[in-house]
Structure 1
C-alpha cells in the first residue's frame, strides 16, 4: 500500500442507519490495521441533515462495541466525487442516486458495499424500515472486513 490514505465515503438513504454504521465499523477496522483511510458517510436524501444516527441503530451498534453518537447526517453531493476515491452505496437505489450526480470525467469508483461481503447478501437492508438492526450489522461487519482486505 502507498502512504496515501484511501478516501472512502459510505452512502445510504438518510445517513442515520446504514452508512454511519459502516463508517464507524470500517473506521475501527482501519484503525486496527496499517491501512490509512479518510472515512465519512452521507445520505442521498436531505431529510436528516445534522441529526445523530437513529437511536435504535446506535443501540444495536453499541451492543457490538461501535459508538455512533458523535456522527451527524449530511447529504451526498456531486462535490463528494472530488473528495473521495471510493463511494460505497448500501443498495441498488443508493447506487443509482449516487451515479445520477456523477461528473462525466470522474475517476472515483462507485460500488455496493455487499460486493466486498462473503455472506451472499446483495444489499444492506434498511433497518429503519425492516427493524432488523442485527442483520444490517452482520452484513456491514462482514463486508467491511472484505473491503479492508481489498485495500491491504
Structure 2
C-alpha cells in the first residue's frame, strides 16, 4: 500500500493496476484526513493493495497539518496523521485516482463541477458505500467539540470497512 502521503506520484492511469482512492472534504484538515487514515488502516489490515490520499476543495489550508482534534482522534485509534499535509483537489486527480469520494453534498457538487470531460475516476458520496447510509454526508466537526470528531471517526471507519469489503470481492 502506498504510504507516502502528499508525494507527487506522477501516476499514469494506464500504468495503474491497483485501485486508488481519494477522499475530499472542504479544507483537508478534518474529515478527509480521518477518512484517509481509517481506510489506510482497514485496507492494510485486509491486505489490500491500494493507493490512498486526501484533498480539499478549498485552498486555505494547503501545506498545513490536520486539525489538532483530528490528530488526537486518529491517535486514540492508534493512527498517526500528524505528518499529513493538506492539499487542494487538482484536475490531475481525476486521472490519478480510480475513485474520488466526497464527504458531503456541497463538496460532491464542487468536485463534479471541476471534473474534466476525460476524467476516468468514479466520483461519489462516501457514505453511499454504506448500506442504509446512502445520500448522507459525514458531518463536519470543525466548529464543534472533540465529541464531533469521534462521530466523524465512526462514520469514516464504517465507510472504510464497507469500501474495503467491496474491494475484497
Give the TM-score, by structure 2 length.
0.84
Q: 1:24 aligns with which of 21, 37, 44?
A: 37
Aligned to 2:50: 37
Aligned to 1:75: 88
Aligned residues: 150
Please say if residues 7 and 84 of structure 1, whose CA atoms lie closer than 8 Å, have aligned partners that are also in contact.
Answer: yes
Please say if residues 119 and 142 of structure 1, whose CA atoms lie closer than 8 Å, have aligned partners that are also in contact.
Answer: no
Please say if residues 37 and 74 of structure 2, whose CA atoms lie closer than 8 Å, have aligned partners that are also in contact.
Answer: no
**Alpha-carbon distance in 2 for matches of 1:81, 1:109:** 8
Give the aligned CA root-mean-square deviation in angstroms: 1.5
List aligned pairs for 1:39-58, cutoff 5 A: 39-58=52-71
Question: Does 1:137 pair with 2:150?
Answer: no
Question: Does 1:120 pair with 2:133?
Answer: yes
Please say if residues 95 and 120 of structure 2, whose CA atoms lie closer than 8 Å, have aligned partners that are also in contact.
Answer: no
**Which runs of no fewer than 5 residues in structure 1 stay unpaired?**
none
Partner of 1:110, secondary structure, is strand
Give the TM-score, by structure 1 length.
0.93
